Amino acid sequence: MEIKVENYFVGNGGNQPDADSVLRQVMSDILNAPVAKGVNTGSKKVQEDTNEGLGYSISLENPVARIVSNEAYPLDLPIAVARFVWMISGNNRLADIKFYHKPVENFSDDGIIVPGSSYGARIRQAFPGIDQLKGVIEKLKADPNSRRAAISIYQPTDATRESKDVPCAFGMFFHIRNKKLHTQVVMRSNNATLLLPFNIFEFSLLGEVIAAECGVQLGPLQHYAASMHIYESAKDGAKSIAGDEGTKQSRPMMAMPKEPAPLDQIRTLVEFEAELRHKSEAISDDSISDWIEQVQNKFVVYWQQFAFLLMVTVARRKCSADGLGELRSAMSSDLARVVDWKPQHGGDVQEEAFTTASAILKSGVENIVLFHETKTSQSLQRHVLQRERSTGEQLPTATVFKLQERFVQDMAARGGDVEISAEEFEAAVSDFEGTN
């Protein structure tokens, strides 16, 4: 079906000072663009009305102010860092990025690799021995006035192959003028609400790596999309983004140091990420300080923040509020402020269960010590968390309540507060299995 739209919008969002301003401007512009009826939504293979601007461009004047903090759609910084590390490592393995962001699996044809959105594999391993990133750096060092410093992401095969995932990014260009690196990003297609904040973050960082390696300042990031669009289903969210505190500005990150060489620190970061992912089951409140110390020994302060942000994903799954607090204290306060520190392993539910039991006990017996303050309760919580970490599965809340009831009764029978042994705990869990 031919898409019919009158007066296609071809626009320029102008020069914006920071990522928040860029995002608001894009939303405002594209919401006012014509609506294309029944546009294919890519990997989902469904048709949806779409606000679309063809040939849309916008410039980010200060690319270090790359973290979108829009209240309607703040950047998930740990995922953004994981995407950047996955990209700059030249990786295309689904499992490695799915560890941080499960929805990526929707863009794999075989459940093994990500064929199109794996920009890093196309940049750093375009062909055996061909690293376009190093090629750009070497070209600009040899000739700072070069107009040939370019990276190609889209390939001829992408024009004909059938896949859930054809790359949205077409390529990048880099120019040094007046001792500043100008980065131009060309997108085949750009989902303004879902991916633009991540694109700004990762491509501006890639430009800053090149600038630091070449010993020049980072200049503006110019972002061009052949199709910048907002799907009908995302229009309400786009309106909220456009209206979010029009004067708010993104907090700039610190400038990337030129020494030690960024690519050397990145190589170490890639190795650290693999170790973190493979050993993630061993991370806990007890081990988090050792991991923090390892990061501080391996990286300068700037790159420490990237390693800590990778750790956030694991710590949110494996640590309590205490462990997360220790990690947060080690990070730069500006970055820590924009991270969601809520545990994601069900710990809040379990804590609520223990707190509820404590309240019940207090109301029933005025003189009793609160249950959560007892050795019995503390050892029970420890056994619950250890079991969840070892099995990878959360105990049902109903089971936790039953365990509490049993050991409260045992406290009364024993006439005192004693720790629960591992054997007692496992025996009680076995008694309750299959009853929920």
pTM as predicted: 0.78
Three-state secondary-structure class, residue 15: strand
Q: What residue has token string 């949205």?
A: 168
Condensed to tens digits (0 to 9), the pLDDT of residues 278-329 reads 999 999 999 999 999 999 999 999 999 999 999 999 999 999 999 999 999 9
**Angle, CA of 372, 378 and 381, to the nearest 5°:** 100
**pLDDT higher than threshold 60 for residue 1:** no
Confidence band for 251, pLDDT divided at 50, 70 and 90: confident
> What is the pLDDT, as a whole number, of residue 131?
97
Kindly give the residue spans of alpha helices, DSSP state H, lying in 174-300: 196-214, 235-242, 262-278, 288-298
**pLDDT higher than threshold 70 for residue 363:** no
Q: Which segment of 101-105, 365-369, 416-420 scores lowest on mean pLDDT? A: 365-369
Higher pLDDT, 425 or 174: 174
Mean pLDDT computed over 62-79: 95
**Angle, CA of 307, 310 and 315, to the nearest 5°:** 115
**In Å, how far are 88, 198, 199, 339 from 68, measured between CA atoms?**
21, 9, 11, 12
Mean pLDDT computed over 57-80: 95
Mean pLDDT of the chain: 88
Condensed to tens digits (0 to 9), the pLDDT of residues 120-131 reads 999 999 999 999
CA pair distance 25, 311, nearest whole angstrom: 33
Tokens of 47: 């048709």
Mean pLDDT computed over 61-67: 98
CA pair distance 406, 224, nearest whole angstrom: 64
State the distance between the two ends of the chain, measured CA to CA, in whole angstroms.
52
